[in-house]
Chains A and B, each alone.
Chain A
């Protein structure tokens, strides 16, 4: 349980608050600026729905006067706008209409403080509360410091926290009055602070910066284990070690703000004075089974039937069978364990990869009231650190809970020592998927390749190393540039614990926004939330020459996605390339969709062509066209392109030498090849090939089997050499 807290906000509502005194506010009035604070502060409390986090708001400079001291002149035009209480949605919604600067009235801010103190004193009496007073003002009105000594005594007596946030009061454009007031308030705050109270005065720019830092809900942990840590079985050995310990959460995922589902009551709420209609929402758990029924006409159908809970037993699935287990049977199967934390042994730090850890972490610390235990555990922790050892232990959190294998990491800071505990996997928890080596390629035939387009060159590796070192963020100046070793301003960028959960912060902001603007769309998440999740700009800029060298050397190309071809990488099965081919055309350009495989998951199956050339299966002309068009359009690596082109040519040769030749397919392929060459601006590639092809078809080995006709058709369709004139791009779609 968090402590009870009472907060009173004193807001200056004198006419000058409608003006703008803060340069950075860009014309927004002082009250608009200060309301940002009010909305956030009050909104957080409304959202928390904590009954013990109460708020009151005092307006200074209101037209009316509403306070207990209203008889006295000094307290005129000071109103308690919100009595101290748990504020609810309606209260929040009314903030913009209630906190409006007056057109004519002035009040004294110090008197406002006194009204606030009085309200807190009345509400809290002698109960234990955290008491806060926040004063928001532009300091434009005269202040009456009469009796200030008594006020300070009273603040000290009540142990009040005091914050004064000024808007536009100490800027170059501020009036003499504002500046004088500001320095008087500063003196006042100094005097309060000397009484060992939390008292601050800050310009609103600082407050805005603080508002950007998301609010973290502090959770006080309770211990989740209260037992002993043992080394060796104390029941068997005299020299075993037993230390009383407790376990507390260290890292635990903060609960997100979850939505609720709700129902608006139906029907009319009765207005009759003698009748009252109440809608109660109830719930019950329904149990249903599916039964197979044979109807009169002999067909069997399925039917859902509700069953009573009393008729149900507990059971387990065993394949398609269901095995009911009675309570007694379950009892006899229970794995009996006793609450314990036994250290099994110690292992050097480097034997456990950090990726093997399974769970959130906890502190195992000596029982806090036990001096001897503290000393014992501390010795153990220091011994582990000195020898660089982790502990491995068997842990049963409660009797009859399954045992867990845990890792114990020694943890020492200036004034805190503990063992950090996290679970290790059992054999069943490890999936031994295998992935190929990254530094060599083993071909299926067992050959080892050290050069391949999948393998980085020395140049790429060196560039990557340079980049990694240039982008080191472990010690940066506030500007985001590398700091010298020992630079007092140098700090780790985005250290653990400095970045806030954007989902929680974003949800909070959205809820508070919706409360004030029910009809409007939600604003996008604020930029500040994600600022430190990007590399620091200055560093990126400085590292850019190194980065560019890296980018150039690795030459990564994004493959264009085709809308019409969502199921890429489906199995092909209709085309095979030469065995020696290291280059996998399909990988470079993506596979093509085979209509027959449309039902298959999209993630499947690329292939490497290792079998001997063989004509195989049906030729899918559409898939083929699709593929070659992609070559033409795709941003493949330039180095790879000639290879792809060669493969394509070899592919056509293969078709021509095979049986069951379909000339239409060849023509289609050649035409796609030609237009690809045009698009790639490499007419030479095509021309070299087509000349050879012509020779083969007309005079060479292919001429005999009637293949020469194909050449006739090719030339008829204008698929001969690409004329190397300036205008060759114009005929790029010939033959398609």
Chain B
């Protein structure tokens, strides 16, 4: 007799790699825009009818920020966003001169977004907010102000980034040692885990020389296998769109979701690599149940399943009393786990269940190489992962990976590999396909269109391939 009561099937961590993916990581961006007469200078369309309106660098920057805000609030509603103007006449806090917090670094409220929209739509409002100070702002002070914003929320976010929009390639400061102080501030920010992403703007009239000041200050924080784009961005009335494209491109922080050894020679040569997700379906935000009371803000209602027992004692004789039912809530911890087998549940400890899929050590093992012609895209399973070397655990990883990368491309081969990306994920078979770097020169910048690296493309197991559906007319062959 079946004495067990099933509650529900438990998904045993279907694809644990994804647990670490971006959705669950909170991200904070502080968008800092310099306000100065040159940032506010009107940029007229190059030709009267090219479909653009007169604008200014500061306006384009705020529009870009607003655009990003609008997108993120839908796709990543729990991320924080802040907008800091520096070089304004006004200040939010007397301690930070010429720093105006247009929006505090926090999860934005609808009213704040509306406020930004109003500034963009109302020229008067825009001008009153974007009033430059009489003297140029202190960059040290500004960085300190930014630091305070991040510091207040320290630990709450997995990724913290400072977007710095300026057209000033040589900020001055009354203090004589301001370069050193600026560097210290940058170090402090990096110490807090904040990544600084510069957006240096230039025009035909006003070039931007990164070597004057910024290289020194910003780059003390980055390692050489990191990619920091410091190339200045040309800004004209028409190029406002380009600025937006740059902002958009940096929307998601680069971040590895796994870091494992890649074994090239069995037992004899492993290197360190990190795995990234470059392709991922962005789904529509799921709807929630919300509770709304008169005059109060709507709140989200969380739901969970409560299991209950109903204990019914029934008299079996014909003059049956009404059943007295007693319903009791069940504590989740009372539940045990197991596998169904022939009408019963065989008990398994949670560790045992985990161990069943935890086969082997985390790592990528090359089984061998095959000509790329044997690779069949018809066997695609899921979006690919991208791997890139890291010297963290193995010295010499980058050069070895580079040799593997160029050899795969030169010899037209791919590697077949066994992949277990994290300790908790199930292993799978994959094709390692190298992709070349593609750089194009456009708008005065070298744009990397495709990063060099190796894609990990999951291949199906025998279990995953369905038979061909029956085709009654398979003898009919068309000619082109």
Contact = CB atoms under 8 A, between A and B. Distances in A.
Interface in A546-577: 547-548, 550-551, 554-559, 561, 568-569, 571, 573, 576
A358 B427 CA distance: 19
Given A444-B228, A534-B418, 20 more contacts: A250-B465, A251-B460, A260-B10, A263-B7, A289-B301, A312-B290, A316-B285, A353-B435, A355-B457, A368-B469, A374-B473, A439-B406, A468-B404, A473-B370, A497-B461, A500-B461, A556-B270, A587-B224, A610-B215, A616-B180
A518 B352 CA distance: 13
B405 A438 contact: yes
B219 A324 contact: no
Nearest to B245: A432
Interface stretch (A5-13, A185-193, A501-509): A501-509
Contacts of B377: 352, 354, 357, 407, 409, 420, 422
A383 interface: yes
Interface in A237-280: 246, 248-254, 256-267, 269-270, 273-280
B189 to A, nearest CB: 10
A260 B337 contact: yes
A506 B356 contact: yes
Contacts of B230: 444
Given A287-B289, A604-B193, A610-B220, A260 B452 contact: no
Given A318-B110, A499-B462, A361 B380 contact: yes
Contact of B314 (A259, A275, A376, A608): A275
**Interface pairs A-B: 3 shortest CB-CB:** A379-B478, A473-B368, A378-B478
A223 B469 CA distance: 9
Contact of A289 (B6, B291, B383): B291
B304 A285 contact: yes
B278 to A, nearest CB: 5
19 contacts: A47-B342, A89-B342, A250-B465, A251-B378, A261-B10, A281-B330, A309-B289, A314-B288, A353-B455, A371-B476, A382-B478, A407-B377, A411-B378, A420-B377, A423-B281, A467-B265, A468-B408, A507-B357, A610-B216
A616 B179 CA distance: 12
A535 B312 CA distance: 61
Interface string B389-402: 00111111111111
Nearest to B330: A263
Determine the interface band of chain B, counting residues with CB < 8 A from chain A: 35 or more
B11 interface: yes
Contacts of B357: 256, 503, 506-507
Contacts of B479: 379, 382
A313 B285 contact: no
A461 B402 CA distance: 8
Contacts of B453: 435, 438
A274 B317 contact: yes
Determine the interface band of chain A, counting residues with CB < 8 A from chain B: 35 or more
Interface in A663-680: none
Contacts of A357: 377, 380, 383-384
A455 B335 contact: no
A513 to B, nearest CB: 10
Contacts of B299: 289-291, 322
Contacts of B124: none
Given A439-B406, A456-B400, A558-B394, A260 B8 contact: yes
Contacts of B452: 435, 437-439
Contacts of A587: 223-224, 391, 395
B465 A497 contact: yes
A438 B269 contact: no
A397 to B, nearest CB: 14
A600 interface: yes
B224 A279 contact: no
Contacts of A727: none
A436 B254 CA distance: 13
A118 interface: no
Interface stretch (A124-132, A212-220, A698-706): A212-220
A471 B337 CA distance: 44
Interface string A46-68: 11010000000000000000000
Contacts of A380: 478, 480
Nearest to A404: B281
Contacts of A281: 5-7, 307-309, 330
Interface stretch (B70-78, B83-91, B140-148): B70-78
A320 B108 contact: yes
Given A265-B5, A511-B339, A640-B395, A375 B476 contact: yes
- Say what secondary structure dominates the interface of chain B: mixed
B12 A417 contact: no
Nearest to A278: B312
Contacts of B443: none
A188 B108 CA distance: 82
A494 B368 contact: yes
Contacts of B460: 251, 253, 496-497
Contacts of A597: 191
B395 A556 contact: yes
A159 interface: no
A605 B188 CA distance: 13
B23 interface: no
A715 interface: no
A425 interface: yes
Contact of B308 (A259, A282, A416): A282
B440 interface: no
Nearest to A420: B378
Contacts of A540: 266
Interface in A502-554: 502-504, 506-507, 510-512, 514-515, 518, 522, 525, 530, 532-536, 539-540, 547-548, 550-551, 554
A276 B313 contact: yes
B93 interface: no
B434 to A, nearest CB: 10
Contacts of A278: 311-312, 314
A235 interface: no
A209 interface: no
A637 B396 CA distance: 8
A259 B303 contact: no
A289 B303 CA distance: 9
Interface in B280-332: 280-282, 284-285, 287-292, 297-317, 327, 330
Nearest to A416: B468
A410 B392 CA distance: 43
A557 B397 CA distance: 9
B122 interface: no
Contacts of B109: 319-321
Interface string A589-600: 010000011011
A265 B309 contact: yes
B477 A88 contact: no
Given A357-B377, A584-B223, A464 B407 contact: yes
Nearest to B475: A415
Contacts of A399: none
A379 B277 CA distance: 38
B138 interface: no
A554 B335 contact: no
B155 to A, nearest CB: 6
A205 to B, nearest CB: 23
B380 A263 contact: no
B292 A324 contact: yes
B427 to A, nearest CB: 7
Given A429-B282, A434-B229, A369 B466 contact: no
A713 interface: no
Interface stretch (B46-54, B164-172, B198-206, B358-366): B358-366
B470 interface: yes
A382 B268 contact: no
A445 B215 contact: yes
Interface string A320-335: 1111110000000000
Nearest to A269: B3
Given A266-B309, A515-B346, A456 B380 contact: no
